[in-house]
Chain A
Amino acid sequence: MRVSKCIGVILVLMFVVSGFQPLPAVAQEAYKIGAVFSVSGRGAFLGEPEKKTAEMLAEQLNKQGGINGHPVKLIIYDDESDATKCNLAVKKLINKDKVPVIIGPTLSGTTLAIVRVAEKARIPLLSCAASYKIVTPVEKRHWIFKVTGSDRHVVSKLYRYMQSKSIKKVGIMTVSTGFGASGREELLRLAPKFGITIVADERYGPKDTDLTVQLTKIKASGAQAIVNWSVGPTQILAVKNWYDLGMKIPLFQSHGFGSKKNLVLAGPAAEGVMLALAKVNVGPLLPNSDPQKKVIMAYKEAYEKKYGEPISSFGGHAWDAFNIVVQAMKKTGPDPAKIRDCIENTKGFVGQHGIFNFSPQDHNGLSEKDLVMVVVKNGDWALLK
């Protein structure tokens, strides 16, 4: 009787123990990831897909068991596209939430406002904004990375293509905003490297209603190609006026043109316009041999199924930042310094915007090779050979 009782007790205990065994794994401490995006305000069109992407990825990751059994706790704040609020949000993430790593912010202005906060707190930060100033000079940006391509890469890609078509004289037209000024700087600086002379350098305001004059002037300058660098309505105007003037000179646009909405707005006028884009914009067009094709298609399917809207290159930045952090945490756990070192040594990470190769000298990790030349054909993108 006693023996059977003992066995009974042991059985119960075993049952209890085995029943509880999975629990300690579930109860493992969550890894925190902080994020700041401009979900409202002027940067909302960038920040919203970023937030949605990050949330979707965190959910997927937790369903698959998290990072080495640790669930991920994603803490997202909206900085309302405002530098002061961004500053507060980052400080809150660092001091109150005690996150070991931060992704975002969305905008160059907000990022530059908090670079020093992250540096001082020694917390690695992966910005989703574009300005090269975020990661230069790299000695003073020990803890800061960015996952977006640079104007330099886009301009080099365009110029290299022109070089292959023996185009030597180029007319540029840029919008008088930060985006346009930064593009203009690179267009002027890199031209000699590719044996290109800038024969016309035109500027215009972001709210201008007509660009015929700028185009006429470029036409008269003997340019063999036009590069337009702007976002918003003026990049559509440039295409429409170029078409109406019946110009025989090929028109190149900045990567800002890389949204299907622009093709709808410009209509048939956009036929033949060329630009350099990140592969995330043209996922379905990529050959199956492309190493990025698989990750881009997986992201596209999951995102479009969950939210019922097309993916954007901006959401792609959040995808890259989130997954670079996750692969670093898989190796190192939630230690800020180790995460930083691991990100800096990341090589060959296949993301949405390219294959990232970080190094102590390069906190961006992308290169000109991550872009593809695209032409507008029948109202859609087509790859240029």
Chain B
Amino acid sequence: MENTAQLVQYILTGITIGAIYALVGLGYNIIYNVTEVINFAQGEFVVLGGLVMVFMTNTLHLSLPVGFFLSVGIVTILGALMDKLTIQPIKNATVLTLIIITIAVSIIFKGLAMLIWGRDPYTLPAFSKAPPFTLFHAIIQPQALWVLGITTVVVILLSLFFRYTMVGKAMLACADSPEASRLMGIPVQRMVLISFVLSAAIGAVAGIVITPISLMEYDRGALLGLKGFGASILGGLGSFSGAVIAGLILGLIESLCAGYVSSGYKDAVALIVLLLVLFIKPSGFFAGKRASLKKF
């Protein structure tokens, strides 16, 4: 009995952590799909989402939905600004140059967050006041259900957006061939802008839902970004369902490794899995035929 409870607890924890990695991984994928750029400031969007929400809730005392949408809105604007001020002005830049620019932007975001919020961690009240409940003798925090639920909603909305809307299809077209898209009359620059906006919004959502569980401080972004990057590589860069499945798998591996092997090695295991994937099947395990590591 005790053993099952333990196993269930590990799996539940793994899925919750995994859902967060999946959300971060999705953000990478959107921008990658349109621009082939890996946006290393993705983790910073998560941090900013959480910290802006802290400001909305703890300082301005706004209600949860109002604060939620305002925070997502603010981070989205930051995402748009990032594109307008740092990515768009560089004409004819190679993908690698743009990636290096995103690293610079991530450092700027991190510095700003430190200036504004300082080095202390912050927390938010859980979305629902319900106490933790038990399932198969394991304990679940209601906030974990919020994380899973919101991840599911985001994934469904994204799939619908890319499959059924003109803008979504146009964005995918840009990914395939920017030149051809431009000839077809698709405003490529606007598509790039939309991709940054979407990524920033998803990052902010991720930050807001996890802050009640894991707290948030200015320098959390790098590690979250790394794990999310792992998820998107493992799932095949550019593949949305791949990122979600891979994120969950990474979370489960970490949690089970910490539970049954040693908690000191769990980060190492996640990175080893990532390296193995890059050695054996660099296009990722869950990618379709179309997606592959185009430029690398």
Contact = CB atoms under 8 A, between A and B. Distances in A.
Interface of A: 42, 44-45, 173, 176, 202-205, 207-210, 212-214, 216-217, 220, 232-233, 236-237, 244-246, 261, 265, 267
Nearest 5 Cβ contacts at the A-B interface: A209-B214, A233-B121, A203-B264, A233-B215, A207-B223
Nearest to B255: A213
17 contacts: A42-B119, A202-B258, A203-B262, A205-B267, A209-B214, A210-B16, A212-B139, A213-B259, A216-B9, A216-B10, A220-B2, A232-B121, A233-B214, A237-B214, A244-B141, A245-B139, A265-B123
Contacts of A202: 258, 263
A236 B211 CA distance: 12
Given A210-B13, A213-B13, A244 B139 contact: yes
A212 B264 contact: no
A220 B5 CA distance: 10
Contacts of B9: 212-213, 216
A210 B121 contact: no
Contacts of B220: 207
A217 B121 CA distance: 26
A50 to B, nearest CB: 16
Given A209-B17, A209-B20, A265-B121, A214 B263 contact: yes
A221 to B, nearest CB: 11
Given A244-B141, A265-B121, A265-B215, 10 more contacts: A176-B264, A202-B258, A203-B262, A203-B263, A207-B219, A210-B13, A212-B139, A216-B10, A220-B3, A244-B139
A68 to B, nearest CB: 42
B50 to A, nearest CB: 11
Contacts of A209: 17, 20, 210, 213-214, 224
Nearest to A216: B9
B121 A246 contact: no
Contact of A244 (B2, B119, B132, B222): B132
Contacts of B210: 209
A232 B217 contact: yes
Contacts of B224: 207, 209
A209 B3 CA distance: 24
Contacts of A203: 262-264
Given A232-B217, A265-B122, A210 B139 contact: no
Contacts of A216: 6, 9-10, 13, 259
A345 B16 CA distance: 57
Contact of A217 (B6, B17, B120, B132): B6
A217 B259 contact: yes
Interface string B85-124: 0000000000000000000000000000000000111110
Interface string B239-262: 000000000000000010011001
A233 B123 CA distance: 9
A263 to B, nearest CB: 12
Given A209-B17, A244-B132, A246-B132, A236 B121 contact: yes
Nearest to A44: B119
A236 B123 contact: yes
Interface string B263-280: 110010000000000000
Nearest to A259: B120
A210 B263 contact: no
Given A210-B17, A213-B258, A213-B259, A205 B223 contact: yes
Most central of A45, A176, A232 by chain B CB within 10 Å: A232
A220 B6 contact: yes
Contacts of A212: 9, 13, 139
Contacts of B255: 213
A42 B217 CA distance: 14
Contacts of A204: 258, 263-264
Interface in B38-79: none
Most central of B2, B120, B217 by chain A CB within 10 Å: B120
B215 A217 contact: no
Contact of A210 (B213, B217, B222, B262): B213
Given A45-B119, A212-B13, A261-B120, A217 B214 contact: no
Contacts of B215: 233, 236-237, 265
Contacts of B119: 42, 44-45
Contacts of A214: 258, 263
Nearest to A243: B132
